[in-house]
Structure 1
Amino acid sequence: MQPQTHTTQHVPNVKPEKSMKVWWMLLRPHTLTAAFIPVTIGTVLALMDGEVSIGLFLAMLVASILVQAATNMFNEYFDYKRGLDNENSVGIGGAIVRHGIQASTVLNLAFSFFGIAALLGIYICIASSWWVAAIGLVCMAAGYFYTGGPAPVAYTPFGELMSGFFMGNVIILLAYFIQIGTVTLDVFVISVPIAILVGAIMLANNIRDLDGDKINGRKTLAILIGRINAVRFLAGMFIVSFMLLFLLIGLGTISFWTLLVLVSIPKAYQAVKLFQGKTEPIEMMPAMKATAQTNTQFGFLLAVGLFISYLL
């Protein structure tokens, strides 16, 4: 399948406010909390164990959001180049196929975001350790090769695992490390529920896109186990995340104040219910949104609970 051709390669005669919306949607803003939440949790955990630099926190936060946004742009670019996206595709920014933005412009913007993130990374390294540079480069490579390169990870059953590991475990550990100068087993364990929920966002995306992905030769987890089992697996991911919270409280690793996270249970339940019985991508968009909101609510409330325990 070849990508569609377009006679319009820019966005002429578009109102400025609409043009800004095109660029904003290209970032896929609903996914950016997957960068914000881990950095915040890692920093709060660092605050509980020592002093925190606001400058380092902000630099790490902006760099992580830029890498996540660039990853979304690579997704948009490479799916277009492989002929997977068209103007009717659901869940994409649509800058290329719907609004006529040059594909090369999207690609260059993604690399520009990587460049700015790298500059912020230099500041972080100077203030902490140059080991951060190596980890940052690996994270950028993961973002690029998720949909880029000859064998994109997004086409395999390992997309959920990879996204959860890098955007959950690694970012939390990195945010903690740049503040404290070391990492601990407790911080890694606390990062696991967030990693699972970030992976859940990717699973929800793959459940929505299952039919189209199958036609285009992808072998995602949702395709391998089927839609019904994938929704059950998603429910299992939510359950495990909450059960891990109880386990960590029981072991004394985190405070009972983190039970605030239980407020996010209705959103997780809603996500699963909204997937059930749905087969059309547009019908499953609310379920995918609810999955992302579960990660946001869970992560934010976990950070709040940890911060309250620090104050007390």
Structure 2
Amino acid sequence: MSETPSVGRAWLMAARPQTLPAGAAPVVVGWAVAVVEGVVAIGPAIAALVGALLIQIGTNFANDYFDARHGVDDPDREGFTRVTAGGLIEPRQVATAMAITYALAVVVGLYLVFVGGVPIVLVGLSGIAAGILYTGGPYPYGYYGLGDVFVFLYFGVFAVVGTYYVQAAAIAGAQFPIAPPPGSISTLAIVASLPMAALATAILVVNNVRDRADDRAAGKITLAVRLGDDWARVEYVALVAVAYLVPLGLAIAGALDAVDGVTLAVALPLVTLPGAALLVRTVRRESGERLNDALERTGQLTVVHAITFAVGLALPVVV
């Protein structure tokens, strides 16, 4: 019989600190794009990082709380222990922690709103609402196969582009702009966001493939449940492929002078390809609890990919 964790350990389990590096990864890439474009602003970049981590933690609390309320989690689930369903922390306390964490994200966001204006208000508030409604509310869209879209957009595209945007807006000197200032939206930032969006979604796919049988029995119809086991694994392979095709495409475009400021160094993430290939093999073949390791390793791959991608983007500019 496993030992009951301490209160502090239980809160760490609820916050899921192992997810935070993956939450920070797109901010790193957004900063690197700002280096390439010459619009680095340290204050907004740090605020974007803190805000992203707070939203990640708040969403973790929300998922733990609402999944338990909907009866999706139970002590026999194959994934990592959930504190609400496991009776480790009172549901009301988890809900309070969720509210406090999102409130702190709003406080940090006030500075970003001053810099980025209405676009940041829309993205920030919709991100918090999306985090709550993912498993909460009358229509938890994560239970209807839409969670992959949420993760792709908010933990990938919006995170990278938003990090770039607040820096570019700060350099432009605008205060609470109604619309994005000229030059604050970068095509390179949008393209560079795709690998991070793909890998963030791949983390969710592993989780949902592992839990597919339990989720289906509990009425949680994730995209993995809708696609079926084989096609859900194909989705994982496709997402990982995107993560490597984009840097390769940028490297070729940079070599042809089709993208300013980008060199062959942007293909640096390809050094992680052997590890990614092993992960793909694992996800294609393994099931159940044996995918827990693949889940953690996909998160680690996301971080290493982001670092090498950021270095490949920024190093030729700063050296």
TM-score, scaled to structure 1: 0.89
Fraction of identical pairs, as percent: 28
Q: Which amino acid aligns with 1:225?
A: L
CA separation in 2, counterparts of 1:225 and 1:305?
35
Q: Which amino acid aligns with 1:133?
A: V
The structure 1 residue matched to 2:84, chosen from 96, 104, 107, is 96
**Structure 2 match to 1:10:** none
Gaps of 5+ in 2: 170-183
The structure 2 residue matched to 1:293, chosen from 279, 290, 300, is 300
**Structure 2 match to 1:7:** none
**Structure 2 match to 1:190:** 192
Task: Note if 1:258 corresponds to 2:266.
Answer: yes
CA separation in 1, counterparts of 2:48 and 2:213?
37
Pick which of 132-141 and 215-224 moved more. 215-224
Contact residue 251 and residue 265 of structure 2 kept, 8 A: no
Instruction: State the Cα deviation string for residues 34-70 of structure 1 (Å, max 9, x = none).
Output: 3201111112211222342322222111111010111
Contact residue 41 and residue 303 of structure 1 kept, 8 A: yes
**Structure 1 match to 2:316:** 309
Assess, with a 3 A threshold, how the Cα gap between structure 1 residues 98 and 216 changes in structure 2: closer, same or farther. closer
Gaps of 5+ in 1: 1-13
The structure 2 residue matched to 1:279, chosen from 273, 287, 311, is 287
Contact residue 28 and residue 92 of structure 1 kept, 8 A: no
The structure 2 residue matched to 1:149, chosen from 137, 140, 156, is 137
**Structure 2 match to 1:126:** 114
Deviation for aligned residue 1:115: 0.4
Contact residue 267 and residue 291 of structure 1 kept, 8 A: no
**Structure 1 match to 2:161:** 173
Deviation for aligned residue 1:103: 0.5
Contact residue 26 and residue 92 of structure 1 kept, 8 A: no
Deviation for aligned residue 1:22: 1.6
Q: Which amino acid aligns with 2:78?
A: V
The structure 1 residue matched to 2:15, chosen from 3, 9, 27, is 27
CA separation in 2, counterparts of 1:309 and 1:156?
44
Q: Which amino acid aligns with 1:283?
A: R
Task: Note if 1:43 corresponds to 2:31.
Answer: yes
Contact residue 267 and residue 290 of structure 1 kept, 8 A: no
Deviation for aligned residue 1:234: 1.0
Deviation for aligned residue 1:198: 1.1
Considering only aligned residues, what root-mean-square deviation do their CA atoms show, in Å? 1.9
Pick which of 116-125 and 47-56 moved more. 47-56
CA separation in 2, counterparts of 1:263 and 1:19?
41
Contact residue 66 and residue 117 of structure 1 kept, 8 A: yes
CA separation in 2, counterparts of 1:195 and 1:268?
16
**Structure 2 match to 1:209:** 211
CA separation in 2, counterparts of 1:235 and 1:263?
18
Instruction: State the Cα deviation string for residues 120-147 of structure 1 (Å, max 9, x = none).
Output: 1111222343431222101111111111
Deviation for aligned residue 1:99: 5.0
**Structure 1 match to 2:239:** 237
Q: Which amino acid aligns with 1:162?
A: F
Task: Note if 1:79 corresponds to 2:67.
Answer: yes
Equivalenced residue count is 297
Deviation for aligned residue 1:219: 2.3
**Structure 2 match to 1:8:** none
Deviation for aligned residue 1:303: 0.9
Q: Which amino acid aligns with 1:310?
A: V
**Structure 2 match to 1:9:** none
Superposition pairs for residues 62-73 of structure 1, below 5 Å?
A: 62-73=50-61
CA separation in 2, counterparts of 1:99 and 1:28?
17
Q: Which amino acid aligns with 1:302?
A: F
Contact residue 38 and residue 194 of structure 1 kept, 8 A: yes
Instruction: State the Cα deviation string for residues 183-203 of structure 1 (Å, max 9, x = none).
Output: 122211111121111111111
SS in 1 for 2:83: coil
Instruction: State the Cα deviation string for residues 195-241 of structure 1 (Å, max 9, x = none).
Output: 11111111111101100011112222212222122212211221222
Contact residue 57 and residue 175 of structure 1 kept, 8 A: yes
**Structure 1 match to 2:47:** 59
**Structure 2 match to 1:247:** 249
Q: Which amino acid aligns with 2:62?
A: F
